[in-house]
Chain A
């Protein structure tokens, strides 16, 4: 999902995660009505918010175990899941480190790992590369594309940065709360997605 600042991306994430509820209309997550059956719907969502949500004083492992428990996972099963997701994101050797000691890229990776603990079928990421350096950005973009391809995870990635989008990605362009275009990124943009994006959003402001 591509949109400039103020497009409504974060508001959409608030709605999708039931931080607040829509005044009209409904939201269905893999068939579950978020209003009628929030437990089942939220159980299927893994989310990485734009702003980091980490206990910096606790270790990476403790952070993940706390989150696992909020999703009803405890004991050995939680331990195994935590180990598994950290390995998946290449973070296994950092499990014992204090979260505050990690750099920005690793914190983000830890948050993505955390969002996968309860094996969601939908992963939501709200501008996950904000504030990261170029190398860390590329690494995160790669990781998440691999998750979508290999684990058949549905990913909703919000961004205002065109270079995070690959031609085969399905794309929605959002501007001021309205969908301007939708389809495969390669088809929408042709050779120049950036130019197309600017032209589209410029024409509507």
Chain B
């Protein structure tokens, strides 16, 4: 199968603490932090959106891949905060990356798994011989209605992957599969500024059912055991759900920790599980096996098994790591947060 030839990530500099939001919303910050398992979230700069985050991450992915950018045959950008309702983010990204014009492009949307789905699409295209390299991106500047529980977790960030031939890969894609059903746990109707969700229904019949089913499916398909993996990444809508999933499958803290970025930056939606993957690729050693299961409301999960190759060590040095972006931060106040999210000047 195809594999990942290069990867990149991006997280905006700005952060808002749960305490800062809770003070405005007259909520109990300690209870919220304990309930969600996170303490702060990333916030986009006033001039950042899904397109700019995508370009930033993709430039790092290209730096790591070291390929002729004109050989990229597809650009797919997954997000639920595309800057336009009609006009693709993917063509903005393609133009900014200077990859020429001979590429397929489309934006995808499937809540938080719109990015992981593009890895599957590109892997299929590479394996079929239709393209040599494909660019897969998941990025979001996710929206949350002020006062809603999502306000504490809806964050900004993204990751990009150059999918290409197995022989050139820093991590080979060994298996992938998906589990999908029509489950109305979270949605945003046309022309609505903020998403709605079904409260506790987003847990058991939604996240947990789909993540565990896709993970079960790929373990069965591959014959692998959870102990075979050096790293395990489950989608991170908050800091608690992936830990519960890890416990269910018997994954240890050591397996989960490297990819558990949500506790430091919040849920970057389409960027979430794949930022976890990028974070793992930042530190993986040749031979390490990686299990990733994304989740997108509505609902579906994509599961992947990767194996790091000997090319990964050199590639890790060629661009910034997820932890570099996590470490770069500036806290902002709630009024500044509203301005960053264009809540005042609209």
A, B assembled together: no
Binding site for A on B (CB under 8 A): none
Binding site for B on A (CB under 8 A): none
